Structure 1
């Protein structure tokens, strides 16, 4: 058995902390001993399916203790886990099934109807017993009691995660067992996690940030408190009642917590046990940070920046969050970051270029996507004009992130834009993020804002700004404010008001700019 796999963490936890609570969810809980036994039962059943090594098994269900058992059971076999968030529509699930060849799906009663709509021909396992002779966890827990042993290679593929973005078909990213253990190790280190911690399981488990909460819990032999975020009041009760100490969030969660100005937020004294808040998966605003600081007054706030192709690149130390809230921080342990221009030369201080990720946490690559892999996973030779390469050792792989950033005089990184988002207008490159940030900081009446380019043969692209607010603001007033902070070529040529902006279906933190462009085309 490799020492670099999640299965080893589970075995170590049950050996030293068997009676400790591993997971809580509402009024239910399970100890490490009970968790280990149930994981073994499900893993034993999965192996009896006798699927080929590296077969893909999907989990398509709501959050529950059974969902965590299913995740750990698959990771205790030589199969590959494919998390499928319940936010996906049947046609999206069908796309993923076909793309990576899923042969078995673990689900709950709520999602069975969607699976039947897909007409999936593989094996289906339900958490609950059903009327159609389908295998269930309830039956597995009753009848499968034989000892289970496994031997896992740390460099084998463990997980394929899919993220539906704003355009095109998604590609799955392949993550090894070693990647999972490394990510748990580094996060536990820089967050200073302890075995007495209660880690909130608010994030969904379809991507690495959410899954990492499970693995950090195992790594430190802590407790994971599951929660399904629906209403802010329920969320605050979760934090108080479960005595959460570590609160991993996405920016959209923070917005949801504080979006109702008339809402009564519990006293900060009730949250004194919260010591750590983390945020990743989107841009954190100064207001978000201040709202968290006011409510969770004892907590350190960690802003983090990750990649699709690697677990994480940077984090911003809590001591700097209010000093430089726009920064994505500095590299995490075992990572080197370089910023290069189009000629492959290292950028000067405050010069914008592409960020190159070297070192730890790089994933195996995209599933069946050679063009995507060629675009992102590069030979270290790409840095030949930046670092000294000796001995002709150029087999090392780095990630050309597609993130355009700059670095200040003290070595802090600042995100500017994704390569694909850059607007080319009048011979200049304009970052939508830079314009959107000015709006967020200076026009408080605006709730949400999307900036993008549309083709204009005279100037390449013209800049469009679409916003939502409680009521429409005059375009002249908005342009007047933007001109105080932006160069003339960065000013939108059109400003459009909408009561609400469309969001990407599976990521409510992202505005669906493709839909906005399509709406403009229909006008």
Structure 2
């Protein structure tokens, strides 16, 4: 039985109960976690979560204490979200790509009581980086102690509204914020995604997204909710992803747009993509050209464009049957989410009129850790016309809803380019550049300019020569009005990426603004 045939249960439970589902549904002997040198069944996964939770509870006496992880994908980082929940602790995953200073900020900000990490990362810490009374333990030693102790504490009886995790944003727009998530947030997120992706017990998910990322964690949780198996992968090159798909019979692959672009540029080995059932996108909008490439290379796989934000997990998805006709749409609300488009007066925006996306319902996070000022800006009372009421996430993203009820991304209000009195969406310029077939990726930026307010600069990735540059300029002049023409086009062999694999617009803007000012 697939989850699409099961009732969509809206009742949240303690998150660690996920590992009990396989036993009650009769698939405890099925594969759950495919590690480099070991395969764990769902029964074995449950036992290891028990042991790790028991060891954590014996080491950290105070419930609600924060336990941080700073390690590559593997047994520890996959088990810890559930083990910490079972032990009554709050898990704080640190992206393994972050450096010492960034990790130290997160550890100090959350007041971690324990840090479990790889030896190389722990050795990089300097005096004063660990909070007072924070114990640092190498991940192998932690797993060995948990296995030797054999102390189990069984399923927790936590209140679903209890805090369970703090996920720190990448910090591309300021110091990282710790988003506070409850058992209910993560449980219902797993139920929702497993349901609308129609995941089944025989599914195999290749977990390529960082586990410190909201959808990265959901790769684990939604798959295990459905009774499927997860293959954690830290990859060096895009071809490693294709090889892993072939080696493990992967059925589900999630990625962000920069990775999808690289994957479409590969020559996929025979059989590498044959078993793929679904592709899911998050972390940025797909372009028409990228959608066409993905559906051509993976014709047997359903493509699920999605939109989300860490403060409310996922918000929308587009039904694969609508992708060909509406390739750039964000779709509609996922289960358990209410998505409103609100005008500047707080009223429902008219059809096709631009407004702010407001997310209401039980997937809304609890705010930012130890940051009431920034919490008050983003987490505010839901609009009066919300059926859920309570606290909502006011995203700051500008969208519109068409006659079919489908949502379309316009841009972030703080990312809109204001040039010569015109309010310009960067996405529109980027889509025109990619549609030229002369570049693979594009980022439009507004660089401060005394005369214009903002001057438009376009950064593109592609093979460049004088002829290519001239062709792109001519194409943009043909497709875009004069006020949307880039003042300068910057060609790159590669785009900078932030720790979550998204294009780092902030570093590009800093670099180009510095050059423009000099």
Q: What's the TM-score once normalised by structure 1's chain length?
A: 0.89
Provide Cα deviations, 1:308-335, integer angstroms capped at 9, x if missing partner: 2211111111111122211111122233
Partner of 2:118: 108
The partner residue of 1:520 within 499, 515, 518 is 515
Structure 1 counterpart of 2:253:
247
Residue from 126, 132, 139 that aligns with 1:127: 139
Q: 2:85 aligns with which of 75, 98, 101?
A: 75
Is it true that 1:309 corresponds to 2:311 in the alignment? yes
User: Which blocks of at least 5 consecutive residues in structure 2 are unaligned?
Assistant: 1-10
Preserved CA contact (<8 Å) 2:208 2:234 = yes
1:206-245 to structure 2, matched below 5 A, reads 206-245=212-251
Aligned-residue offset at 1:498: 4.1
2:284 to 282, 300, 304: 282
Q: 1-side partners of 2:219 and 2:349: how far apart?
A: 35
Q: Aligned equivalents of 2:136 and 2:220: distance in 1?
A: 24
Helix, strand or coil at the partner of 1:196:
coil
Q: What secondary structure is seen at the aligned counterpart in 2 of 1:440?
A: helix
- CA displacement 1:412-436 (0-9 Å, x = unmatched): 1111111210122222211112111
Identify if the C-alpha distance between structure 1 residues 69 and 21 changes in structure 2 by more than 3 Å, giving closer, same or farther.
same
Partner in structure 1 of residue 4 of structure 2? none
Determine the structure 2 residue equivalent to 1:133.
none
Distance 2:256 2:128 in 1: 31
Q: Residues 4 and 146 of structure 1: is their aligned pair in 2 closer, same or farther, counting only changes over 3 Å?
A: closer
Pick aligned residue for 1:440 from 434, 448, 454: 434
Q: Contact (CA 8 Å) 1:90, 1:117: kept in 2 or not?
A: no
CA distance in 2, matches of 1:409, 1:395: 25
Tell me the SS of whatever aligns to 1:301. Answer: strand
Between stretches 192-201 and 342-351, larger displacement belongs to 342-351
Task: Please tell me the root mean square deviation across aligned C-alpha atoms, in Å.
Answer: 2.4
Residue 265 of structure 1: aligned partner: 268
Aligned residue among 50, 60, 77 for 1:40 = 50
Q: CA shift at 1:292, angstroms?
A: 2.7
- Answer whether contact 1:202 1:228 (CA < 8 A) is retained: yes
Q: C-alpha separation between the residues in 2 aligned to 1:72 and 1:146?
A: 13
| Larger displacement relative to structure 2 (243-252 or 154-163) | 243-252
Cα distance in 2 for partners of 1:395, 1:89 equals 40
Equivalenced residues, count: 503
Runs of 4+ that moved beyond 6 A: none
Whole-Å separation in 2 of the counterparts to 1:65 and 1:146: 18
CA contact (8 A) 1:453 1:461 kept: yes
Q: Which moved more, 1:334-343 or 1:112-121?
A: 112-121
* Aligned equivalent of 2:183: 177
SS at structure 2 position matched to 1:507:
coil
Residue matched to 1:23: 33
> Are the aligned partners of 1:61 and 1:110 in contact in 2 as well (CA < 8 Å)?
no
Distance 1:431 1:102 in 2: 41
Higher relative contact order (CA 8 A, sep 6+): 2
8 Å CA contact 1:202, 1:249 repeated in 2: yes
Please say if residues 264 and 294 of structure 2, whose CA atoms lie closer than 8 Å, have aligned partners that are also in contact: no
| Deviation of 1:117 (Å) | 6.9
In structure 2, the residue matched to 1:7 is 16
CA distance in 2, matches of 1:17, 1:101: 39
CA contact (8 A) 2:184 2:362 kept: no
Q: Deviations over 1:179-212 (max 9, x none)?
A: 1110011111111111121122222200110101
The aligned residue for residue 5 of structure 2 is none
TM-score, length basis structure 2: 0.90
Q: Which residue in 1 is equivalent to 2:422? A: 428
Cα distance change on mapping 1:192 and 1:503 into 2, 3 Å: closer
> Which residue of structure 2 lines up, in the alignment, with residue 144 of structure 1?
150
Provide the secondary structure at the position in 2 that maps to 1:297.
coil
1:459 equivalent to 2:459? Answer: no
